[in-house]
Amino acid sequence: MIARSILDELRRTLNRISCDEVEALVREVTGVQRIFVAGAGRSGLVMGSFAMRLAQLGRPVHVVGDTTSPPIQQGDLLLIGSGSGVTDRLVHYAEKAAEAGARVAAATADPDSPAARLADVVVVIPAPTPKLSKATGSKEHRSHQPMGTLFEQSLGVMLDACVLLLMARLDETGRSMFARHANLE
């Protein structure tokens, strides 16, 4: 069954993510004033989903590019989700955040990418992306799924794991988070 193959790939990838790197990201999220998230394409959608959960956890969070996003400053965190770590716009955001004195974190498949080099904290997600696969051609960066799908799925699950860790740290429950859920729908 195709779904089983997808789950097997996802399990293998998630098992290769460093718990220490995830823990460092959680510490960053709890230790800053505000969090800004950014990504492009499907990774951007995953980052937006994480922003929603951060808001429901009571953390001040903004999606870069939204019309209500304030300027980033010292004491803030920019979290980038980028499989390749080379997307010009995201690298530019990291440069600007660092110039402003903010912390930078990156979740990427390439620990040597420009985004990772600019980051204070990096979570390496060892999954293929179209740009990275062309460069490496390695078997460990292959997937049955197209393009960056495995990276995007792994990014989402890793960030959901961060939510669970944050819930414990911040003494939050599903009920307390739901009290912060949008109510205009």
Which residues are tagged catalytic?
A: 152
Is the separation of the CB atoms in 46 and 79 below 8 Å? no
Q: Cβ distance 120 to 76 under 8 Å?
A: no
Which residue's entry shows tokens 């980052």?
47
Task: Report the C-alpha gap between 125 and 38 in whole angstroms.
Answer: 16
* Residues 6 or more apart whose Cβ sits within 8 Å of residue 34: 60, 61, 62, 70, 72, 75, 76, 77
CA-based radius of gyration for the chain: 16
